[in-house]
């Protein structure tokens, strides 16, 4: 069987590069992470936050409903009583300790669903990798937003959001 | 429970024919078919009042022609006695609509703050609403508001907004505990259960209202916000705060006790607990728990390991004989006590062991057969004589039985005590004698029974009680009388004589033990032999140097002995083993400290006041290196080469069953022979 220079060599190469040429004009699908980040779907669920009311009071009332709903049983809530001198949340009860084990969490969002005050929310921050197991136990200090609305504020840092 | 009525009636419940005792409440009859009627105010141990209307059912009667004629309106099943030809419907359109209506109505003023309510998750109001209630409310007006979290007492918080006015708490204090401290104030929507003039709720049984309140209106101040029900693990336990041995649930969270609830045991506590038991377990969580063995080096106690501690003990107690002694504390398990007792008797050759803390003691032959009357049998006695003690303090759950005997079965009660007691409120005759004259009064009662006028007059003069009173009391007593005394009678100088006199009175003479397992120690023979010394003699022996080594097995002599005597004894004695759960003053005198587990932190068996043998399986794990009493005993036994190894408390119990006559052939939950 003889090999035809045109049919068997030139034509396939031309076809192949032809596709490449055509694609050059297409829109790019990859982004330069981490300088660029893709916009996420509205219901994306990653890192938890404990949110605050406008007044600055914590929304969480330490009711443990999130812990009860969690299928991975990775939330630990220890409640205590507010006093007029030391008030954390409206009403009688607040969470003295609030911990989520992020290695166990399956990001189902049931906790957010169960929460009667909208305190615990899952937001879009997905960069949760770390070096030590212990650092995956997110404490109340880590979860609680430092000012009302922080959880919904755009990510901090230099980056460009691409569609 | 009432005696089973012999007469039965036939009725039809949801098309099923069933025969039930005549007059039984329909709310109970439906349970026989495994059906459930939602309830709030009805409680099987209290009289029905029909206040909440949750239990509505449709009722009809079979007519001669075979048809069923329904009553036009639904009826409350909790106040409806069963009759012949009755036809009950619990599952009709109308019943469901009525239940929805009742719940919507009850929720009008309910704050629905379930997320912060300690009852949330185990709340009858939540459950009934979920199963039978409407999913929405039409009520948009402002709800009733009241003070949240009002501290009703040291133990109980009242949240009036949550109350559904069922009256269970009020009825409990009227019918069960008898102090009648709670009552309803005001009327209609403003009706509030509370104490009179908002005084402190001081009942000794106040904790029970927390459990029977069908909502979160009455909550536990100690448990407040400690956990939600789904955070808890729970295991059956028995209460060892006193000798009654009530059945309880131990609720714990991450190996930490968070609350104690009553568990049903018809033989002992029915379902109640006293406040001492319900709120008295905080010592499990105390900061001063002992967690490692300590040994004295110079004037300091230093941490050491168990073998070092054991070696030091065994060399100090090697002298043996009359030179060593042991005092046992009341919450040691049978297993722990048995092994230490055997160590002393067989290995150290010493009979100086004792558990008794009363000022006086009875000789062994008179001390036997302490408790002929079972607690549950008390309520069937026609008359009860309470002598020389305040039962609500000494034996709280037995007090509830005595009161029930009077309240439910009309028993005649005579209370003889030198101070006021809760039992006075329902006693037919109260004999308030001068302190220390117990024996005179007892002899007076015997004389009155024998119509010996001179004897009665003499006794009356001696004890300061009216002659006529003594006669009146004696007339109520007879062969079927249960006489209820406790070990506290032996704190009185004439207590032992009183006890002897009461023996001649006829009836069943009970001397109930006070400490958790005191009765078990008595049956195990944890008392000085004929040539041994008792508690007082042991302390005296320590002080005068004739005892060189003293073992405090769960006992803190400062808690019962006279301060100066105890201090002198502990200072003089050469070697003190402090085997205990907590740091205490006595520990300061110790040469070796052995950290011991609390009862619910290890396996063990205990004998309660009525000589019922009960098993307690470990609920929590002991802190640090602490060990259960049986384990300490077993390890020592092995070290002195006394036994084949015991692998668990069960092995020790098995040996007790074969070696100690009172325990032979007894099953857990039965009374000793
Ligand atoms: S997202 Fe799901 S698994 Fe993670 S904490 Fe919430 S409930 Fe638990
Ligand atoms: S986050 Fe929400 S559900 Fe969880 S404890 Fe706090 S208030 Fe309750
Ligand atoms: S406090 Fe509880 S038990 Fe008492 S009346 Fe109110 S709902 Fe009933
Ligand atoms: S349970 Fe029958 S009326 Fe309340």
**pLDDT surpassing 50 at residue A106:** yes
Query: Please, which residues have CB within 8 angstroms of residue B52's CB and are 6 or more apart in sequence?
Result: B39, B40, B41, B102, B106, B164, B165, B166
Q: Count Cα neighbours of A59 within 13 Å in the Cβ-side half-sphere.
A: 22
Distance B224 CA to ligand 2 centre (A): 17
Domain assignment present for A18: no
Distance (Å) from the alpha carbon of B240 to chain A's nearest alpha carbon: 29
pLDDT band with cut points at 50, 70 and 90 for residue B189: confident
CA gap A102, B128 in Å, rounded: 36
The pLDDT of residue B369: 66
- CATH number 2.20.25 is the correct assignment for the domain at B232-285: yes
Closest CA to B226 of A66, A50, A77: A77
| Other CB atoms within 10 A of residue B315 CB | 11
- CA B583 from chain center: how many Å? 26
Whether A148 is covered by a domain: the verdict is yes
Q: CA of B202: how far to CAs of B155, B197, B224, B415, in Å? A: 9, 13, 19, 22
Q: How far is the CA of B620 from the CAs of B81, B331, B435, in angstroms?
A: 46, 16, 44
Strand order in the sheet with A137-138: A75-81, A93-101, A137-138
Q: Residue B1: which pLDDT band, with cuts at 50, 70 and 90?
A: very low
How confident is the model over A13-23, as a mean pLDDT? 94
Centre of ligand 4 to C-alpha B40, Å, is 6
Is a pLDDT exceeding 90 seen at residue A158? no
Predicted pLDDT of residue B549: 96
Specify the pLDDT at position A63. 97
Phi, psi dihedral angles at B278 (to 5 degrees)? -70, -35
Across A144-151, average pLDDT: 92
Q: Domain B294-357+519-663 is of which CATH architecture?
A: 3-Layer(aba) Sandwich (3.40)
**CA end-to-end span of chain A:** 52
**CB contacts < 8 A (A, B):** 37
Give the CATH number of the domain where residue A73 resides: 3.30.70.3270
The ligand 2 atom nearest the CA atom of A69:
3
Residue nearest to atom 3 of ligand 2 (CA): A115
Q: What angle do CA B25, B27, B31 make, to 5 degrees?
A: 115
Structural domain contains residue A130: yes
Q: Which one is predicted more confidently, B636 or A30?
A: B636
- Cα separation, B226 vs B204, in Å, equals 23
| Cα first-last separation, chain B | 26
Pairwise CA distance, residues B319 & B323, whole Å: 7
Q: pLDDT digit string (tens) for B72-122?
A: 999 999 999 999 999 999 999 999 999 999 999 999 999 999 999 999 999
Q: Output the CA B351–ligand 2 centroid distance in Å.
A: 61
Instruction: Note the pLDDT tens digit of each residue in B351-376.
Output: 999 999 998 888 877 777 689 999 99
pLDDT category at B499 given cuts 50, 70, 90 is very high
Residue A17 included in any domain:
no
- Domain spans of chain B, in order of start: 8-91, 105-220, 232-285, 294-357+519-663, 372-512
Q: Given a cut of 60, is residue B3 above it in pLDDT?
A: no
Q: Which atom of ligand 3 is nearest to the CA of B209?
A: 3
By a Cβ cutoff of 8 Å, what residues of chain B touch chain A? 113, 115-116, 120-121, 148-149, 224-228, 230-231
Number of H helices, E strands in chain B: 22, 28
The residue-averaged pLDDT of A1-13 equals 89
Sign (positive or negative) of CA dihedral B519, B525, B526, B527: positive
- What number is the average pLDDT over the span B528-556? 94
Where in B263-380 does DSSP place strands (E)? 294-297, 300-303, 324-328, 353-354
How many domains are contained in chain A? 1
| Per-chain mean pLDDT for chain B | 94
Full 3-state SS string of B454-509 = HHHHHHHHHHCCCHHHHHHHHHHCCCCCEEEEEHHHHHCCCHHHHHHHHHCCCCEE
The residue written with tokens 């669920």 in the block is A45
Closest chain B residue to A69, measured at CA:
B230
DSSP, residue by residue, B315-332: HHHTT-GGGEEEEE-TT-
pLDDT per residue as tens digits for the range B645-656? 999 999 999 999
Domain boundaries, position A74: 36-162
Ligand nearest, relative to CA of residue A98 = 2
Q: What is the pLDDT of residues B547-592, one digit of tens each?
A: 999 999 999 999 988 999 999 999 999 999 999 999 999 999 999 9
List chain B residues with CB under 8 Å of A62. 116, 225
Domain B105-220, architecture per CATH: 2-Layer Sandwich (3.30)
| pLDDT on residue B4 | 53
What architecture does CATH give domain B8-91?
Answer: Roll (3.10)
Contact at CB, A68 and B228, closer than 8 angstroms: yes
The reply to whether A121 falls in a domain is yes
Sequence-distant (≥ 6) Cβ neighbours of residue B108 within 8 angstroms: B137, B139, B143
Per DSSP, the three-state class of B257 is: strand
pLDDT value for A27: 85
Name the architecture of domain B372-512.
3-Layer(aba) Sandwich (3.40)
B11 in Cβ contact with B85 (< 8 Å)? yes
CB B329 within 8 A of CB B555: yes
In a domain, A12, yes or no: no
ipTM given for this complex? 0.86
Question: Whose alpha carbon is nearest atom 8 of ligand 3?
Answer: B166
d(CA B454, CA B438) in angstroms, rounded, equals 18
User: Which chain B residue lies closest to A91 (C-alpha atoms)?
Assistant: B116
Inform me whether the pLDDT recorded for B2 exceeds 80.
no
For residue B51, pLDDT over 80 is answered with yes
Separation of A66 CA from ligand 2 center, angstroms? 5
Q: What pLDDT is stored for residue A152 in this prediction?
A: 84
Interchain CB distance below 8 Å, A65 and B115: yes
Per CB-CB distance under 8 Å, the chain B contacts of A64 are: 227-228, 230-231
Would you say residue B7 has pLDDT above 60?
A: yes
């Amino acid at each position: 069987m003889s090999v035809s220079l045109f049919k068997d060599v030139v034509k396939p190469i031309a076809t192949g590069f032809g596709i490449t040429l055509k694609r050059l004009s297409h829109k790019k699908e990859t982004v330069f992470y981490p300088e660029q980040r893709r916009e996420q779907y509205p219901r994306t669920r990653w890192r938890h936050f404990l949110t605050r009311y406008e007044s600055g009071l914590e929304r969480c009332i330490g009711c443990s409903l999130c812990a009860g709903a969690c299928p991975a049983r990775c939330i630990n809530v220890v409640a205590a009583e507010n006093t007029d001198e030391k008030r954390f949340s409206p009403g009688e009860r607040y969470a003295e300790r609030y911990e989520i084990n992020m290695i166990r969490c399956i990001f189902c969002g049931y906790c957010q669903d169960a929460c009667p005050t909208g305190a615990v929310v899952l937001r879009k921050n997905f960069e949760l990798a770390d070096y030590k197991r212990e650092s995956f136990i997110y404490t109340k200090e880590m979860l609680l937003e430092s000012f009302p609305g922080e959880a919904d504020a755009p990510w901090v840092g230099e980056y460009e959001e691409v569609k | 429970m009432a005696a089973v009525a012999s007469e039965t009636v036939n009725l039809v419940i949801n098309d099923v024919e069933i025969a039930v005792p005549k007059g039984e409440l329909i709310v109970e009859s439906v349970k026989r078919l495994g059906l459930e009627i939602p309830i709030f105010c009805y409680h099987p141990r209290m009289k029905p009042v029909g206040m909440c209307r949750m239990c509505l059912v449709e009722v009809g009667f079979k007519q001669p022609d075979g048809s069923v004629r329904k009553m036009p309106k639904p009826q409350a099943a909790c106040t409806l006695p069963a009759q012949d030809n009755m036809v009950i419907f619990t599952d009709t359109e109308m019943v469901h609509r009525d239940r929805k209506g009742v719940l919507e109505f009850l929720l009008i003023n309910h704050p629905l703050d379930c997320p912060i309510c300690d009852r949330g998750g185990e709340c009858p109001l939540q459950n009934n609403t979920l199963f039978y209630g409407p999913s929405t409310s039409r009520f948009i007006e402002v709800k009733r508001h009241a003070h949240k979290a009002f501290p009703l007492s040291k133990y109980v918080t009242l949240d009036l907004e949550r109350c559904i006015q069922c009256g269970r708490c009020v009825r409990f204090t009227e019918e069960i505990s008898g102090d009648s401290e709670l009552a309803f104030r005001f009327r209609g929507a403003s009706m509030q259960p509370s104490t009179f003039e908002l005084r402190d709720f001081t009942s000794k049984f106040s904790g029970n209202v927390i459990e029977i309140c069908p909502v979160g209106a009455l909550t536990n101040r100690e448990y407040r916000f400690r956990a939600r029900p789904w955070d808890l693990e729970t295991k059956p336990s028995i209460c060892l705060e006193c000798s009654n041995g009530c059945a309880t649930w131990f609720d714990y969270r991450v190996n930490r006790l968070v609350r104690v609830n009553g568990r049903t045991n018809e033989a002992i506590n029915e379902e109640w607990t006293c406040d001492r038991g319900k709120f008295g377990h905080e010592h499990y969580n105390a900061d001063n728990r002992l967690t490692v063995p300590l040994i004295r080096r110079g004037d300091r106690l230093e941490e050491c390991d168990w073998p070092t501690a054991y070696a030091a003990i065994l060399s100090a107690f090697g002298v043996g004989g009359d030179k060593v002694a042991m005092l046992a504390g009341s919450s040691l398990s049978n297993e722990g006590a048995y092994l230490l007792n055997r160590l002393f008797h067989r290995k150290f050759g010493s009979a100086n062991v004792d558990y008794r803390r009363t000022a006086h003691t009875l000789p062994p032959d008179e001390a036997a057969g302490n408790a002929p009357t079972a607690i549950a049998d008390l309520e069937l006695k026609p008359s009860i004589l309470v002598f020389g003690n305040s039962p609500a303090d000494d034996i709280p759950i037995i007090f509830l039985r005595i009161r029930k005997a009077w309240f439910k079965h009309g028993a005649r009660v005579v209370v003889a005590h030198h101070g006021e007691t809760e039992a006075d409120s329902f006693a037919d005759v109260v004999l308030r004698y001068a302190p220390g004259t117990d024996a005179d009064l007892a002899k007076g009662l015997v004389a009155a029974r024998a119509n010996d006028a001179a004897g009665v007059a003499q006794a009356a003069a001696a004890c300061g009680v009216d002659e006529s009173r003594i006669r009146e009391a004696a007339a109520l007593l007879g062969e079927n009388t249960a006489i209820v005394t406790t070990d506290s009678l032996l704190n009185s100088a004439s207590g032992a004589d009183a006890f002897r006199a009461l023996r001649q009175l006829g009836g069943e003479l009970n001397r109930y033990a006070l400490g958790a397992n005191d009765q078990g120690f008595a049956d195990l023979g944890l008392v000085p032999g004929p040539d041994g010394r008792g508690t007082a003699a042991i302390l005296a022996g320590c002080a005068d140097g004739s005892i060189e080594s003293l073992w405090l097995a769960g006992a803190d002599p400062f808690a019962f002995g006279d301060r100066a005597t105890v201090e002198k004894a502990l200072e003089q004695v050469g070697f003190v083993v402090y085997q205990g759960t907590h740091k205490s003053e006595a520990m300061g005198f110790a040469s070796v400290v052995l950290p011991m587990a609390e009862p619910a932190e290890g396996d063990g068996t205990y004998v309660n006041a009525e000589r019922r043998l009960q098993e307690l399986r470990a609920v929590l794990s002991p802190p640090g290196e602490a060990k259960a009493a049986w384990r300490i005993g077993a390890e020592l036994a092995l070290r002195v080469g006394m036994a084949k190894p015991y692998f668990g408390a069960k092995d020790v119990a098995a040996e007790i069953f074969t070696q100690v006559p009172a325990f032979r052939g007894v099953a857990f939950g039965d009374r000793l022979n």
